[in-house]
Amino acid sequence: MGVMLIYTSVDLFCKYAQHTTMANIKVEMVDELPLPAITFCNLSPYKRSALNPDAVMDHYLLTISRMTDFVPSVDYSHPAYSALLRPLPDGWLHNVSFSVMDLFYACVNTANQRMDCNEVLVPTITDIGLCYTFNSHHQNGTYNPLTTSIIGSVKSFAFYIRVNQSEYVYSDNLAAGMKVIVHDPKETPDTNRGFFASPGFSVYASLYLTKYKYFTVSLPVYGGRYCLDTQHQDSRNPLNYHDNYSFYACIRECKYRYLVKLCGCQAPTDTGPERTCTFQEYANCYRNASRGEYINNITFQQTCNCDSPCEFNVYETSASNAYFPSQLNELFLMNAGFTNLRTDYLEVRFFFDTLSFLNVEYLPEYSIETIIATLGGQMGIFLGASLLTLSELVEFVLMAGLVACRKFMKRRQS
C-alpha cells in the first residue's frame, strides 16, 4: 500500500509540473452586450476610374490576378513598362481606392434612424486593401464602446451597399461583393476570417460573443506558450505599428519584418515606415514571397513569439441570405432613380439573437491546494492515515528525539 501511495503521489506531482488546464464554460445572461467592430472590404482592391489604368496597367493587373495563367508575363525591360519601375507616391492607396460615399448609400441603427456613414465608418488599411470599419476604436480619436440591449433582426444595424462593378479591376477575386469581418473593436481585422456578401442579396448576420480568459499568466497555458496580460496597468504593447496588441497583429508585424528584409520595401497595404515597393518589386518579390517563401519558412515563423492575450473576445456570425430587393421594392427603387440593383446593391444586417454570451475561463487543473487535498485523501486510502496522523507522527519523532538527547546528556554528565 505504501508503494501505491508513492506511485500516485509522484504521478500527481508530474501532472502538476505539466501545468495542464481545465475549461470552465458557462452561459451568462446580461442586460446589454458590447457591439463588435465590423470591417467591410470591397472585393476589388482599387477603383478603376481613380486608378485610370491604361493597357500596360491592365496587363500588369492581369498578371497578378487569378487570370495570370492566361496572359503572357510582363517584360519590365521593355520601355512601354517603364512606369511600373517608378516608386509609388505617398497616399497612393487612398487615392486609388473606393471612398465611403462610393460604397455606402445608407447606414441605419437599431432605432431605424439613418446614421452618417462618413462619421461611423473609419478607413482601415488591411492586407487586402483599404476597408472601412464600423465601431472602430479609432473613431473620433477615442474608443467609446457601443452596446445594445435590442435583439432580433427587425431592429438591427443595417448597411446598404453598392459595390460598383463597373469600377472593378482585375484582382485575386473573380467574384463581386464585400468581404465582411466581425471582430473585437480593439483588434486588427483578420482578413483570413469573415464572410462574403453578394450583390442582389440581403444578408442577415446573427452575432455570438465568446469571452476567453486565462488565469495562469505566469505558467504555460497552451502548447507550452504563455499568454500576454494586456489588461494589466503596467502592460506595454510590444508592437510597433498597431495601437493594440492582438495575436493576428503580432503575426502581421512579424511577416512584415520578414518581407521587408527580403525585398527591401513594403506593400502599399503595409503601415510601416519603409519605402513602398514599385509595381515590379511587389509582383516579383513581395507578393510571391508572402505567398510562398514566408509560408514555407516554418523556422522563421517560430521566431515570431506571438502569444495570445490572457483575455480576449471572439465574435462569431451565422449568416443567411434573402433575395434583395423584392420585386415590389425593386420597382419603387427603379422609379426613384436606382439602376443595376441586382448587380451592384446589397443589404447587410447585424443583430444578437439573445442577450447572453459564452464565458470560457481556463483554470489550472492542479494547484497547491488541490495537491494537498488529494495527497491527504491518498494517505487515507492507502495508509488509513490523515494529515492529523502525519502531524502526530512528526510530533512523536520530535518527542522521541528530545527524550533520547536528554538521556545522552545525563550519561555524559555522570
The per-residue pLDDT for range 149-160, each reduced to its tens digit, is 999 999 999 999
66-100 pLDDT, tens per residue? 998 899 999 999 999 998 998 888 889 999 999 99
Cα–Cα distance for residue pair 336/413, rounded to 1 Å: 119
Strand partners, 187: none
Asked if 103 and 161 touch (Cβ cutoff 8 Å), the reply is yes
Choose the weakest-confidence range: 112-116, 288-292, 366-370, 391-395: 366-370
User: How confident is the model at residue 208, as a pLDDT?
Assistant: 96
Cα–Cα distance for residue pair 45/51, rounded to 1 Å: 10
Asked if 224 and 17 touch (Cβ cutoff 8 Å), the reply is no
284-307 pLDDT, tens per residue? 999 988 887 777 777 787 788 888
Asked if 282 and 276 touch (Cβ cutoff 8 Å), the reply is no
Cα–Cα distance for residue pair 60/78, rounded to 1 Å: 13
Cα–Cα distance for residue pair 356/366, rounded to 1 Å: 30
User: How confident is the model at residue 319, as a pLDDT?
Assistant: 94
Check whether 59 has a pLDDT greater than 90.
Answer: yes
Choose the weakest-confidence range: 2-11, 169-178, 304-313: 2-11
Q: Per the structure block, which three cell numbers stand in for 184?
A: 473585437
Check whether 3 has a pLDDT greater than 60.
Answer: no
In sequence order, which residues have a C-beta less than 8 Å from that of residue 16 and are 6 or more positions away? 366, 371
User: How confident is the model at residue 110, as a pLDDT?
Assistant: 92
CATH top class, domain 22-364: mainly beta
Strands 37-42 and 178-183: antiparallel
Asked if 347 and 324 touch (Cβ cutoff 8 Å), the reply is yes
Mean pLDDT of 105-124: 94
Nearest to 105 by CA among 328, 351, 336, 352: 336
Nearest to 184 by CA among 159, 203, 210, 205: 210
Distances (CA, A) of 236 to 11, 29, 141, 174, 240: 39, 33, 20, 42, 11
Cα–Cα distance for residue pair 347/161, rounded to 1 Å: 6
Helix or strand (DSSP H, E) at 400:
helix 387-413
Q: How many residues can be counted in the chain? A: 414
Better pLDDT: 137 or 119:
119
Asked if 163 and 103 touch (Cβ cutoff 8 Å), the reply is yes
Q: What is the mean pLDDT of the chain?
A: 85
Q: pLDDT tier at 123 (50, 70, 90 boundaries)? A: very high
User: How confident is the model at residue 288, as a pLDDT?
Assistant: 87
Check whether 140 has a pLDDT greater than 50.
Answer: no
Q: pLDDT tier at 227 (50, 70, 90 boundaries)? A: confident
Distances (CA, A) of 398 to 278, 387, 388, 392, 402: 82, 17, 15, 10, 6
What one-character DSSP code corresponds to residue 315?
A: E
Mean pLDDT of 354-379: 73
Percentage of residues of the chain with pLDDT beyond 90: 58
Mean pLDDT of 3-27: 67
Better pLDDT: 188 or 235:
188
Q: pLDDT tier at 207 (50, 70, 90 boundaries)? A: very high
Q: φ, ψ for residue 42 (rounded to 5)?
A: -70, 140
Strand partners, 359: 26, 211
pTM: 0.83
257-282 pLDDT, tens per residue? 999 999 999 999 998 899 999 999 99
DSSP 360-393: EEEEESS-HHHHHHHHHHHHHHHHS--HHHHHHH
Asked if 81 and 54 touch (Cβ cutoff 8 Å), the reply is no
Check whether 388 has a pLDDT greater than 90.
Answer: no
Name the residue ranges covered by the structural domains of the chain: 2-20+371-413, 22-364
What one-character DSSP code corresponds to residue 285?
A: I
Mean pLDDT of 396-407: 76
Three-state DSSP state, 292 = coil
Q: Is 403 exposed, middle or buried, given 0-12, 13-18 or 19+ CB atoms closer than 10 A?
A: exposed
Check whether 381 has a pLDDT greater than 80.
Answer: no
What one-character DSSP code corresponds to residue 201?
A: E
What is the number of alpha carbons within 13 Å of residue 199 lying toward its C-beta?
19
Cα–Cα distance for residue pair 280/86, rounded to 1 Å: 9
